Structure 1
Amino acid sequence: MSERPQMTVAGVVLDSPDAQALAAFYQRLLGWNVVQDEPGWVKLGAPGGGPGLSFQTESAYVRPVWPAGPGDPQMSVHLDIHVDDLDAACLHAEKAGATLADFQPQEDVRVYLDPAGHPFCLFL
């Protein structure tokens, strides 16, 4: 067996019908900087470094349903965002444009949907 090559996760990419609009939402939510902005592609970088968060325009994008039922488009990824004050973070997320999901599976976690329908969790 050969030695494993060096590999580093550089970021997460979310599809959207409008990469620029979804990136603007996450910029408001997280306060991250735009480090790359091209037609159909935007990358945000965390001020402290680490993996980035990118968005690509996908014309065939289908909004996921959460929680998905039989035959529903399922989410393929969600973001977990640690917060120090859940109530304040929820208010901020809603002001940024997030929608509180109807189904909330845990008392100390809040599931929100971004403008393209991707679920993300705020947790203590």
Structure 2
Amino acid sequence: MATPALATVVLDCSDAHELAAFYAELLGWPITAREPDWVLLRDPHGGTGLACQAEAGYVPPAWPERPGAQQKMLHLDFQVTDLAASSARAVAAGAAPYDIQPQEDVRVLRDPAGHPFCLFLH
């Protein structure tokens, strides 16, 4: 039996092209495929890709989680060597920081679709 390989993580959103443009800018990854409601980015160094898929009725998750609010299903962690510069780059690309920051060596931000993601120091 062959072992599956994780090829792509897919993020639901209301606008796949907007969200893909954000992650392409943040990560420096090329967009390798486009459809009306789906966009694929690939790491130029190999590894798992990232896709954005538009869904009717998409509701952004709340963070921190709270009862009765849309819960997140996952979040992305990005390892960085300069937290301040990486945070500034993310904000310039369209991210927004949360008021609550749980640790000094981690920054929690939300992408344009409202998904929380973390930048953390190596």
TM-score by shorter chain over 0.5: yes
Once the 2 structures are TM-superposed, how far is the Cα of residue 62 of structure 1 from its aligned partner?
A: 0.7
Aligned to 1:85: 82
For structure 1, the residue ranges without an aligned partner over 5 or more in a row are none
| Residues 21-60 of structure 1: per-residue CA shift (max 9 Å, x gap) | 1000111111100111111000000110111000001012
1:17 equivalenced with 2:14 (yes/no):
yes
Aligned to 1:94: 91
Q: Which amino acid in the other structure matches residue 110 of structure 2?
A: L
Once the 2 structures are TM-superposed, how far is the Cα of residue 102 of structure 1 from its aligned partner?
A: 1.5
Aligned to 1:51: 48
- When normalised by structure 1's length, the TM-score is 0.95
Selected match of 1:34 from 20, 31, 35: 31
Partners of 1:18 and 1:103 in 2: CA distance = 26
| Aligned residues with identical type, % of pairs | 55
Tell me which structure has the larger Cα radius of gyration. Answer: 1
Q: Which amino acid in the other structure matches residue 68 of structure 2?
A: G
For structure 2, the residue ranges without an aligned partner over 5 or more in a row are none
* Structure 1 counterpart SS, 2:77: strand
Selected match of 2:111 from 100, 114, 118: 114
What is the alpha-carbon root mean square deviation over aligned residues?
0.8
- When normalised by structure 2's length, the TM-score is 0.96
Runs of 4+ in 1 over 3 A off after TM superposition: none
Once the 2 structures are TM-superposed, how far is the Cα of residue 68 of structure 1 from its aligned partner?
A: 1.4
* Structure 2 counterpart SS, 1:87: helix
Aligned to 1:104: 101
Matched residue count: 121
